[in-house]
Amino acid sequence: MTDLRRLSALELGQLLADCKLSLVDIQNTAANDTLNAFITRVPFPTAPMEGTSPLAGVPMAYKDNICTKDLPTTCGSKLLADFLPAYDATVVERLAAAGAVSLGKLNMDEFAMGSSGETSYFGPTKNPWDPARSPGGSSGGSAAAVAVRQVWYALGTDTGGSVRQPAAYCGVTGLKPSYGRVSRYGLVAHASSLDQIGPIAPTAADCAAVLDLISGNDPRDATSLDLPPIGTLSGDLRGRRIGLPVECFTEAVDVEVAAAVMEAAQVLKARGAKMEQCSIPELRHAAAAYYVLSSAEASSNLARFSGPRYPSRTEGFGSEVKRRIMLGTFVLSAEGYEDYYREAQRTREALCHAFAAAFERYDLLLTPTTPTTAPLLGLTSEECRSCDLYTVPANLAGLPALSMPCGFDGHGLPVGAQLMGPALGDDLVLSAAHGYQLETTWHRNIPEGGGAL
């Protein structure tokens, strides 16, 4: 019998649609939660699900900062440990209408503030390739669950790389859509000008299918856009111009990571892309601007979380969240506003202009997703920040960006390559990644000993 864990979400959906597979068969294959990927589980359904989408009946789950009616939405925090939303997020409504089989809510860094999966009140998630290592954050539970096929796709959120970085560390594909493509209604906000909900799945084609189900205008989110669907990906790269920013291939990048990404560049070239080194100096300042702006927005968003349970917010928040609230409060104060917040906004504007200029010359940019493979658990805040160096620029500029598996290092840990495209160029990013995955099998690899039954 076919090992279901090696199938993509779309392949599994096709077997279900053709009645060659039942949900009982999938339940008997799905992995146990030895990685602490879930915060809340729901019973596995056995009756066929209604829906005509290509993913109808395929098991999935939501990051636990996406509101689900009458199902706990904790944001990985003690403060919201018993919070039951009275409504579903728009993305939950849309997937339910498409026949999604949700298995529950996935572990995450508290209020999506963290890059290692360790700040959750419910304990850290473990990396499926090495339980002593980080799965990434803040959507670590989402990436880990997909990697071992506890679910075949998941929704995460990406504020500074929180979909792409865990996808890289766990050896799966993760997409941050263009800002505005997916409604944020029902998302517990981290930094509202940076947040996007995005899919994590085995393949780029899976991510495209999920994106088409969850995207579209929503009157409850004024930033959401009405855009045409992605549809079927061609994978055609002939004539595409892809830039490799030298700022993302410095000595900060592990040698094996850089080599794997350059090999990915050769695969893209073999499919017809024109590869060229380029320079975007503004990338060097993106991380500093990001941490100022995201902390400022987070401190403002979290100001609403207080009340009779925790008269002081210090009782309910973990140390990383409190650190970012304090930083954000300072940069918005009279003392810090001009020197930090305004300067960070200027840096963001300069970065947006630099990307606009780059995409006049190039269709896509290729970088490592992260400077290294998955680090050991126990990262300091400073070490966590270094994990996000190459992911935060896309959030600051509102661009689509995707991480795809492109190899392994000497420790057997997956390496991720990142493709970035122009604003609303999600189709370009997904099609290029699909073309790459037509030529490679890195996305077919499954962690051994990942808890599978």
Q: C-alpha 432: how far from its chain's center? A: 18
DSSP string for residues in 433-448: HHHHHHH--GGG---T
Judge whether 402 and 430 are in contact, CB under 8 Å: yes
According to DSSP, the β-strands at 241-245 and 364-368 are parallel
63 is catalytic: yes
Distances (CA, A) of 82 to 74, 111, 137: 7, 15, 22
- CB neighbours of 152 closer than 8 A, spacing ≥ 6? 7, 8, 9, 12, 58, 59, 60, 146, 201, 202, 206
Question: Among all chains, which residue has been given the structure tokens 């670590």?
Answer: 140
CA distance 48 to 305: 40
Among residues 63, 78, 105, 126, the one annotated as catalytic is 63
CB 341 within 8 A of CB 290: no
Q: Which two tokens stand for residue 212?
A: 């088409």
Closest CA relative to residue 53, chosen from 16, 90, 7, 8: 16
Question: Which residue among 53, 115, 162, 403 is the active-site one?
Answer: 162
Residues forming beta bridges with residue 415, ordered by sequence position: 407
Q: Distances in Å between the alpha carbon of 9 and those of 48, 104, 152, 281, 413?
A: 16, 17, 5, 39, 23
Around Cβ 86, how many Cβ atoms within 10 Å? 7
- DSSP, res 157: E
The amino acid at residue 85 is P
Helix axes 343-361, 286-301, angle to 10 degrees: 120
For 215, which DSSP code?
A: B
Which is the catalytic residue, given 8, 53, 138, 431? Answer: 138
Q: DSSP letters of 239-268?
A: T-EEEEEGGGSSTTS-HHHHHHHHHHHHHH
Reported in sequence order, the residue ranges of 95-152 that DSSP labels E, i.e. its strands, are 101-106
Report whether 55 contacts 162 (CB < 8 A).
no
Tell me how many helices (H) and strands (E) the chain has: 13, 11
Alpha-carbon span 79 to 318, nearest angstrom: 9
Which residues are annotated as catalytic? 63, 138, 162
